[in-house]
Structure 1
């Protein structure tokens, strides 16, 4: 009687436990598989502006939030050295032009020497030819003939030397003129570099310096981006990056908009991995963006990598070790397909009429 009572109680407990187990049947539902990513909203074409020269911030032409056009002045940096260099370069250019054009005494003096050498050559040529005719008639001395011939040859050489001297001086002055022009253009560029201008039409989102502060070449002075176009930067785990390609559908939720889901399209995949976070950055564009967006809004994104209109699915929590489910016949092996955060597709092993039970925690 005692053993019978214990057996009855044990059987009752087993039945009670079995009744408490959650039982469901697989269903045919639409199924999507997606890759999760953290999301941050940023203006399109956003960049940080830097100064290419050191100086003191003299004037800020805009305020944070102002709209700017391409080429608009953003900041003015003061430094007297570029202005002095520009003046010196302009003076050097003017002098080089005068020397090259001949208005200065550099080339004109050589030209005068050439004219004198031509006259001397003409005179020595006349004397030489006259003496040569006399010598051919056996008139005059051999020494006198040789002297006239030598004077004529020396005059020829002197003229050739002066012509070469003129060409060399002209080439040198031409080179100096070009160098002076380049230096002057460089000085103008350096002066312009002290005025930082916007490279795009957009909005000034941040200014990092105040008037009177020192500006260098390694710290940004402003952040500028487009006003009417935003991108969603998504950080994807390295194990999922190979599943992505341009044009895939993206569902985006933003903390500022609660449960509202925005649809977007994958637009860009950056090939370089961030070694610190072990993630890849990709960008998506809103198909229909929210009315109001600000840089830095955060949220989540799900990039759809596969879709089926109808397939057999079960809750992911009913899987055992990723490949089995609990049925009336015990643990049964199944073949899975697509999966997401909630559901998993069943390709083989059970059907719609198979009752499955949630495994005990």
Structure 2
């Protein structure tokens, strides 16, 4: 769920930096109500752009505050209480290892790279494959020497502000921090520092991490954005979901949002079946055209009204699959006759899932499977 973002507004023809609300707390509550009425339960609502500047989140050095336009603390409590009443959970999504703009990040709070510049996380232009130097908001890395106290301060502020123990982070432990100015921190030391900070944050909290480094799995209650596809490089003979094979039965995990990927959504759904990844979608309650001329304008397929009718269909189909393998674990994963398009996943309860990624129907061990589809046999 996307909450708020920065957008240039105009007053008497004069531009100024304003805030654009994408989904308020009351609208998020209404969306949860819709999903519940459609029979979709156990929802984990990851609320991005909810604090301190929204999607382009600023440093949290002064504590956690609600982004403007979303509602009050009591509105959030109403959302959280409603979610609890229907078996759902709200996970405010925070940047914890980085922040947009240098405000609040003095010299000893920001990481410095080896050429004595402030450490940044860069985005790349998908057309030119070069660093995007025209981004209005630069993403700076938190100094690892400051990280432990920074996260402890955020944890205390978060608990006081929201009174919940569920928190998500899209950047925490996704990279190993270093610092080359003042007290220098190498990669190995940076890993030790960041893991210790993550462990401390997870104490008493349900922490959801976004495709973190593998050492961080121990500190997360659930994982999201775990890749279900390979890099696509021609040198690869086959795509095998090793990560999910390891995680299955030990952690709750999802892939990336089905409505944000460039590949066919049906293929992504079948990949979720193959890897037993929970389904994930990203939505705005308001029209996604509001993202035009913002840093998030590439998220054009997030309008909830467009997906409202199809999401229950995806979840109903997925639930039918999940019920057949509930309580079981993946015992084997194989390519049928060394064909990367044909797969067999076997579960500990004897259920087999036959998968066909090809363009034509195929027969796998005598089971007929339509193109880009699957069959479950007990």
Tell me the TM-score normalized by structure 2.
0.19
Structure with a larger share of its residues in helix: 1
Q: Could you say which structure has the larger radius of gyration?
A: 1
Tell me the TM-score normalized by structure 1.
0.19
Structure with a larger share of its residues in strand: 1
